[in-house]
Amino acid sequence: MTRAAETSGSLLCFDVDRVREDFPVLHQKIRDRDLVYLDNAATTQKPQTVIDAISRYYGQQNANIHRGVHYLSQEATFAYERARARIRLFLNAAANAEIIFVRGTTEGINLVAHSYGGSNLKENDEIVISHTEHHSNIIPWQLLCARTGAILRVVPVDDDGQFLLEEYAALLNDRTRIVAVAHASNALGTINPVREIARLAHDRGAVVVVDGAQGVPHLPVDVRDLDCDFYAFSGHKVFGPTGVGILYGRKSLIDAMPPYEGGGSMIKTVSFEETTYADLPAKFEAGTPHIAGGIALESAIDYVTALGPERIAAYETTLLEYAIDLLSEIDGLRLIGAAPKRDRIGDRVGVISFVMEAAHPHDIGTILDTEGVAVRAGHHCAQPAMARFGVPATVRASLAFYNTHEEIDALAAGLRKVNEVFGG
Ligand code: PLP
């Protein structure tokens, strides 16, 4: 079957109107216009099942976990641990012990930098990242370099925002200890060749950290197939709550790593002379976690799984193609990143970054807002990526599976209005 046939086949049963019914926030007027929510890379909207899971936890189940003998505590513990097991299946990790609840992608990456980096790196060791990383996948490594004397190396991207594998291979050497890359760029949408990146890193004995913040919402993710050592993502970007996320860590590595934070729940025994630590994953989960968040994240993952990550990717690709066609026709609009390469459209998630001759991105964002269209304008926490493309900021429209072709029409109409207002 051709890719196109597969796509249309898998789209036959994708009923976007039905899907939208599950997202209450989408059904409102903003400034007297139907809300068009195209800021999904910043955060996604929540289906009713996720909202219900949070409300059910606080309304019926609320108790602290892992420590109570009473009924409610055991119920809450059961629900939280069931969520962990569900997320393990979703990522195809080998064991529940490899699934660590964190606050989000940012905390996941900081955990690896502190715990793995702090105990394994020394002066002149090297850490490799790419030019288009989110600040969350830059600054933890800079801080680690400052603490250890390690050196940060940056893989360039081409004019389409594509990761340059040959340059990457040439940067690797026997001092490379960590390679940290985004699964997909939040600024450009480019999907990085993680499997190949991991293979080359492992050949050099380096570990691979994947920032999956923009991967999990748009792509099927299998950590064993990617063969990464760590994979971090945020609940709120995958239709779940804020304040909760996941760090997957390869068991052989996290077993040997020291705790990141100390406190309750992460110990076996404590005395003033000596403390011993809990088994995985508790060793990395000090203090009371976001219990409602973890439980509701399971509902979000169930929702995405029921829709099917492959169908989501296929549907979003049709939206992306449509959007690129429409936006390419707008006077003075320049797409930033991989946009012009039609043959590589399957290599992108639904993120479209652009600038316009007529107006600054912030003014464009403001005009679109008056039309009810929510986009992001700014550097998207990726200032080096902006610098690479010679712009201080872009407008970013980012898609989710509940967006429609009509909403892309509304975006294009808003952008034509920008040209009218600013005389472009
Ligand atoms: N990495 C990428 C690629 C992102 O898009 C984001 C958020 O925009 C992050 C990391 C940080 O995610 P969080 O703020 O949820 O920790």
Query: Which atom of ligand 1 approaches the CA of 104 most closely?
Result: 16
pLDDT tier at 45 (50, 70, 90 boundaries)? very high
pTM of the model as a whole:
0.96
Domain boundary among 305, 332, 364: 305
Q: Is the CB of 39 under 6 A from ligand 1?
A: no
Our measurement of the distance from residue 145's CA atom to the centroid of its chain's CA atoms, rounded to an integer in Å, reads: 24
Q: How many CB atoms lie within 10 A of CB 306?
A: 9
Number of domains in the chain: 2
Burial class of residue 64, CB neighbours in 10 A (0-12, 13-18, 19+): middle
Query: Which atom of ligand 1 approaches the CA of 105 most closely?
Result: 16
Q: Give the residue-averaged pLDDT of 294-304.
A: 98
pLDDT at 423: 81
The answer to whether residues 240 and 132 belong to one domain is yes
pLDDT at 338: 66
pLDDT tier at 337 (50, 70, 90 boundaries)? confident
88 has pLDDT over 80: yes
Domain boundary among 305, 321, 336: 305
pLDDT at 68: 81
Structure tokens at 136: 């969350």
The answer to whether residues 225 and 332 belong to one domain is no
Q: Give the residue-averaged pLDDT of 65-71.
A: 90
Q: Is the CB of 104 under 6 A from ligand 1?
A: yes
Residue 140 domain-assigned (yes or no): yes
Residue 45 domain-assigned (yes or no): no
The answer to whether residues 284 and 362 belong to one domain is no
262 has pLDDT over 50: yes
The answer to whether residues 256 and 326 belong to one domain is no
3 has pLDDT over 50: no
The answer to whether residues 131 and 264 belong to one domain is yes
Query: Which atom of ligand 1 approaches the CA of 103 most closely?
Result: 16
The answer to whether residues 350 and 379 belong to one domain is yes
Indicate which residues carry an active-site annotation.
381
In this structure, of 2-6, 51-55, 194-198, the range with the lowest mean pLDDT score is 2-6
Q: Is the CB of 234 under 6 A from ligand 1?
A: yes
Percent over 90 (pLDDT), the chain: 92
What are the CA-CA distances from residue 338 to residues 25, 184, 212, 391 (Å)?
A: 31, 12, 19, 15
The answer to whether residues 197 and 237 belong to one domain is yes
424 has pLDDT over 60: no
The answer to whether residues 163 and 96 belong to one domain is yes
pLDDT at 1: 37
Q: Is the CB of 213 under 6 A from ligand 1?
A: yes
Instruction: Judge whether 319 and 340 are in contact, CB under 8 Å.
Output: no
Tell me the residue range of the domain where 280 lies: 50-305
